[in-house]
């Protein structure tokens, strides 16, 4: 045993302090799920402010390092650690078509690729909640295994207008479909014990000047269309977090709106998670704290200082800060980082690739199939394959929704794998074209960027004489029309919604040359948003719509073309004849500045440009099919449309009113064709007016059968509550389910209403809600 000899009283004192220290340190609480109150009490003001501000902008290759390098490279953001209190940093990464992190890291030859899954719009085209849940469970597993705590997804803004550059990330023009899809997405990801951040809350419906744009929306449209999907998702799936948007809503930044972040989200819908900003904050950080925006992302030191100063000068009650800190701590204790999960960095990418392929195949929409053109057995048939996109197939959109995938199957590979023989002269032509254009960029030291904006080469013209030759040498033609779009800019009407002159000519020449010889023409639409189809669709025998289907999507297209998969996807939005048919087109920047105003680049002082500085949602609730069906507008393809290689009959529905004033309905669906297939049944309701103008029909439920063999049937059941049937009465600040007769349609698409039933509601249902007080400068609009 060692003897300690005390030489002086000073030394004695020193030792007494050292001996006392362990008990002082242990008196400091270390965060656990049951001592959050104690931890908040122990926190200094500086620590509280620090926790509410993210750890800085993500490090991207060549970028500046600001704090989260040591966590997961290429993740979008983090929360800061406070070691003293046992609070670890946590990691936030995009979303939504797969995890976005850097695929390589210095100092290791290991790779960190993620799987590029189908985009949100394609997942929604499946109308299959269990398929979405299964797919996103795989996305969540990649987040978990790469050390990410929250996936910044799903994106669920409503497809108000076809030209929003980010529609590809979002689900639908309909709030019920969007809300249910997002809920399934959240359940899938969160089943891994990692979180989601449903975004962008709310009204981020255009990219043009998205940081400053003021969305001027009436309360009925807001509640019935733009918030309804978030409400459904919050109530049905309890997402860990919500991301507020960049834009303003009725005069106020959404990240500073108490009405939105507290009134609607928490008080009305019962959300009990954390709210974070989108990746950039406004000057008035204390206003965001007060409003209930708990976490500022990506976060910088100035924001911490602003919070501290505001508490010190009394303009920000410390209780508000404490409330937000509590929500952040409640989030942190749920995370894998807090629980010390040892991630493998080795998710099963092979298994996930096959999930991605199946999800794409189950969701692809068959728009046209004249005379049973498809499926086609490959059998070594010779194919003339056209379009820049055949070698430059687009798996997903640009911006934060990009996924760094290990590979991307293109149409050349996919059709070859499936057993077709591709005309090598045509493939060679497109291959050289894309390589040449890449080389031109390389010459000036640049390369195609997939960050913001559109980085696809225009289709080159193909001489008619060559097409005539191809028609002689091949058995059929496949044309791939491609579009890329994404974060930071909107699409335009002239050569993005509408086909370019070169594309138009290609379709028409291929149609003329191949049809003259009795050979078929198939068009594949590799697009992120709706395009014009009416003027040229009759020139194609079949049209296949895979949207942007992920890294295995081209294989899924081949699966549908050859009949390995019987298509069962249906459109989650309407395809109009003309862009201007959408009422929102009157208030959408389709031929102005298309880009977002970058941070730090202010709009000219006092600028007040329509559809850029502000956008009036004058169409109110008349979005998508709600408008088209009520007006009887001619469409190219209606909402909910999609063909199958088999046919289905619907039996007589049974419908029972429920005690709460809703209904339960059952219908039998039978496969009456000759191959196995799945059918999506859509339940639309026509409601009595009760003094309000209402759409002729609204989607109130949907279901998809399992794979039914020929002759096999399945009963689908739908439950709709009284509240689900309500419309919002602005004048009385209440949801009202009007008394009267409700007609319930069972439909294959919104224009193919197969069966109907009805029920009477004796007494109206009423749910009173709070009246929002909008932005200081702008009165609530009345449309």
Sheet (strand 765-768) strand order: 727-729, 734-737, 765-768
CB of 278 to ligand BGC, least distance (A): 5
CB of 391 to ligand BGC, least distance (A): 29
Interface with ligand BGC, residue 212, by CB under 6 A: no
Tell me which residues in 571-600 interact with ligand BGC (CB under 6 A).
Answer: none
**Which is nearer to ligand BGC, 81 or 199 (by Cβ)?**
199
Interface with ligand BGC, residue 328, by CB under 6 A: no
Interface with ligand BGC, residue 168, by CB under 6 A: no
**What radius of gyration, in Å, describes the C-alpha atoms of the chain?**
28
CA distance 405 to 729: 48
Q: Which of 545, 565, 522 is nearest to 125 (CA)?
A: 545
Cβ contact 350:315 at 8 Å: no
Interface with ligand BGC, residue 152, by CB under 6 A: yes
Over 34-93, what HEC string results? CCHHHHHHHCCHHHHHHHCECCCCCCCCCCCCCCCCCCCCCCCEEECCEHHHCECCEEEE
CB of 287 to ligand BGC, least distance (A): 20
Q: Which of 520, 571, 206 is nearest to 374 (CA)?
A: 520
**Which is nearer to ligand BGC, 120 or 361 (by Cβ)?**
120
Cβ contact 519:484 at 8 Å: no
Q: Which of 113, 117, 271, 279 binds ligand BGC (CB under 6 A)?
A: 279
Which active-site residues does the annotation give? Answer: 278
Q: Which of 245, 330, 250 is nearest to 288 (CA)?
A: 245
CB of 464 to ligand BGC, least distance (A): 44
Interface with ligand BGC, residue 57, by CB under 6 A: no
Interface with ligand BGC, residue 196, by CB under 6 A: no
Interface with ligand BGC, residue 185, by CB under 6 A: no
Interface with ligand BGC, residue 278, by CB under 6 A: yes
How many residues bind ligand BGC (CB under 6 A)? The answer is 8
Interface with ligand BGC, residue 207, by CB under 6 A: no
CA distance 220 to 699: 17
Q: Which residues of 747-783 are buried (b: 16+ CB within 10 A; e: fewer)?
A: bbbbbebbbebebebeebbeeebeebebbeeeebbee
CB of 170 to ligand BGC, least distance (A): 11
**Which is nearer to ligand BGC, 165 or 640 (by Cβ)?**
165
How would you classify the pairing of strands 90-93 and 654-657? unpaired
CB of 297 to ligand BGC, least distance (A): 7
- CA 317, 318, 323, 327 dihedral sign is positive
CB of 442 to ligand BGC, least distance (A): 28
Backbone angles phi, psi at 13, to 5 degrees: -60, -45
Interface with ligand BGC, residue 199, by CB under 6 A: yes
CB atoms within 10 A of CB 300: 18
CB of 78 to ligand BGC, least distance (A): 11
Q: At what angle do helices 175-190 and 228-237 cross, to 10 degrees?
A: 30
**Which is nearer to ligand BGC, 95 or 263 (by Cβ)?**
95
Interface with ligand BGC, residue 679, by CB under 6 A: no
Q: Which of 400, 402, 644, 748 binds ligand BGC (CB under 6 A)?
A: 400
- SS3 assignment, position 777: coil
**Which is nearer to ligand BGC, 452 or 774 (by Cβ)?**
452
Question: Kind and range of the H or E element at 664?
Answer: strand 663-671
Binding mask 93-122 for ligand BGC (x = CB under 6 A): -xx---------------------------
Tokens 């003897």 -> residue = 3
Interface with ligand BGC, residue 76, by CB under 6 A: yes
**Which is nearer to ligand BGC, 278 or 503 (by Cβ)?**
278
**Which is nearer to ligand BGC, 96 or 583 (by Cβ)?**
96
**Which is nearer to ligand BGC, 57 or 678 (by Cβ)?**
57
Cβ contact 621:629 at 8 Å: no
Tell me which residues in 685-724 interact with ligand BGC (CB under 6 A).
Answer: none
CA distance 364 to 82: 47
Interface with ligand BGC, residue 410, by CB under 6 A: no
**Which is nearer to ligand BGC, 198 or 685 (by Cβ)?**
198
Contact positions toward ligand BGC, by CB under 6 A?
A: 76, 94-95, 152, 199, 278-279, 400
């Amino acid at each position: 045993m060692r003897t300690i000899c005390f030489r002086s009283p000073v030394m004695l004192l020193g030792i007494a302090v050292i001996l006392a220290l362990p008990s002082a340190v242990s008196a400091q609480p270390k965060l656990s799920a049951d001592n959050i109150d104690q931890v908040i009490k122990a926190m200094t003001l500086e620590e509280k402010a620090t926790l509410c501000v993210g750890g800085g902008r993500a490090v991207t290759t060549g970028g500046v390092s600001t704090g989260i390098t040591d966590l997961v490279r290429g993740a979008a953001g983090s929360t800061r650690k406070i070691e003293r209190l046992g609070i670890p940093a946590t990691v936030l990464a995009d979303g939504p078509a797969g995890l976005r992190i850097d695929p390589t890291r210095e100092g290791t030859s290991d790779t960190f690729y993620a799987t590029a899954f189908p985009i949100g719009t394609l997942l929604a085209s499946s109308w299959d909640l269990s398929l979405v849940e299964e797919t996103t469970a795989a996305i969540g597993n990649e987040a978990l295994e790469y050390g990410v705590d929250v996936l910044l997804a799903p994106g669920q803004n409503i497809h108000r207008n076809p030209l929003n550059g980010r529609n590809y990330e979002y689900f639908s023009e309909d709030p019920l479909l969007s809300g249910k899809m997002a809920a399934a997405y959240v359940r899938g990801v969160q089943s891994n014990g990692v979180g989601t951040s449903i975004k962008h809350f709310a009204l981020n419906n255009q990219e043009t000047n998205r940081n400053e744009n003021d969305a001027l929306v009436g309360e009925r449209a807001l509640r019935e269309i733009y918030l309804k999907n978030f409400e459904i998702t919050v109530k049905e799936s309890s997402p860990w977090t919500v991301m507020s948007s960049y834009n303003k809503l009725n005069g106020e930044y959404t990240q500073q709106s108490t009405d939105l972040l507290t009134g609607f989200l928490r008080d009305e819908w019962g959300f009990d998670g954390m709210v974070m900003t989108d990746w950039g904050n406004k000057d008035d950080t204390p206003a965001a704290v007060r409003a209930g925006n708990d976490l500022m992302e990506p976060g910088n030191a100035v924001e911490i200082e602003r919070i501290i100063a505001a508490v010190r000068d009394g303009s920000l009650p410390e209780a508000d800060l404490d409330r937000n800190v509590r929500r952040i701590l409640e989030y942190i204790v749920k995370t894998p980082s807090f629980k010390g999960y040892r991630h493998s960095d080795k998710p099963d990418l092979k298994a996930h690739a096959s999930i991605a392929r199946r999800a794409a195949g189950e969701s692809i929409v068959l728009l046209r199939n004249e005379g049973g053109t498809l499926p086609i057995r490959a059998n070594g048939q010779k194919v003339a394959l056209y379009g820049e996109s055949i070698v430059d197939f687009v798996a997903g959109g640009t911006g934060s929704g990009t996924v760094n995938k290990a590979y991307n199957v293109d149409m050349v590979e996919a059709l070859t794998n499936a057993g077709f023989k591709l005309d090598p002269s045509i493939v060679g032509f497109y291959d050289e074209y894309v390589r040449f254009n890449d080389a031109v960029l390389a010459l000036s030291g640049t390369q195609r960027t997939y960050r913001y904006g559109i980085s696809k080469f225009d289709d080159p013209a193909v001489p008619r004489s060559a097409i005539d030759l191809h028609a002689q040498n091949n058995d059929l033609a496949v044309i791939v029309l491609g579009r890329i779009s994404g974060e930071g800019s909107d699409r335009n009407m002239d050569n993005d919604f509408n086909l370019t002159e070169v594309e138009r000519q290609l379709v028409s020449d291929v149609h003329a040359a191949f049809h003259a010889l009795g050979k078929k023409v198939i068009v594949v639409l590799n697009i992120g948003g709706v395009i014009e189809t009416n003027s040229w669709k009759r020139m194609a025998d079949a049209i296949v719509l895979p949207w942007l289907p992920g890294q295995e999507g081209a294989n899924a297209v081949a699966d549908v073309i050859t009949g390995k998969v019987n298509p069962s996807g249906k459109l989650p939005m309407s395809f109009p004849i003309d862009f201007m048919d959408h009422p929102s087109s009157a208030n959408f920047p389709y031929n102005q500045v298309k880009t977002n105003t970058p941070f730090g680049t202010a709009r000219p002082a006092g600028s007040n440009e329509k559809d850029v500085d502000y956008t009036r949602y004058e169409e109110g609730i008349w979005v998508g099919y709600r408008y088209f069906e009520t007006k009887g507008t001619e469409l190219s393809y209606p909402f909910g449309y999609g063909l199958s290689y088999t046919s289905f009959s619907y039996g007589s529905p049974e419908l029972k009113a429920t005690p709460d004033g809703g209904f339960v309905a059952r219908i039998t669906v039978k496969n009456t064709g000759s191959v196995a297939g799945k059918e999506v049944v859509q339940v639309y309701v026509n409601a009595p007016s009760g003094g309000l103008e209402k759409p002729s029909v609204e989607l109130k439920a949907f279901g998809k059968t399992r794979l039914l063999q020929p002759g096999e049937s399945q009963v689908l059941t739908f439950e709709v509550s009284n509240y689900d049937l309500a419309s919002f009465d602005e004048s009385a600040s209440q949801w009202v389910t009007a008394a009267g007769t409700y007609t319930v349609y069972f439909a294959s698409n919104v224009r193919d209403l197969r069966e109907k039933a009805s029920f009477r509601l004796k007494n109206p249902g009423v749910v009173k809600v709070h009246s929002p007080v909008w932005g200081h400068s702008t009165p609530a609009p009345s449309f």
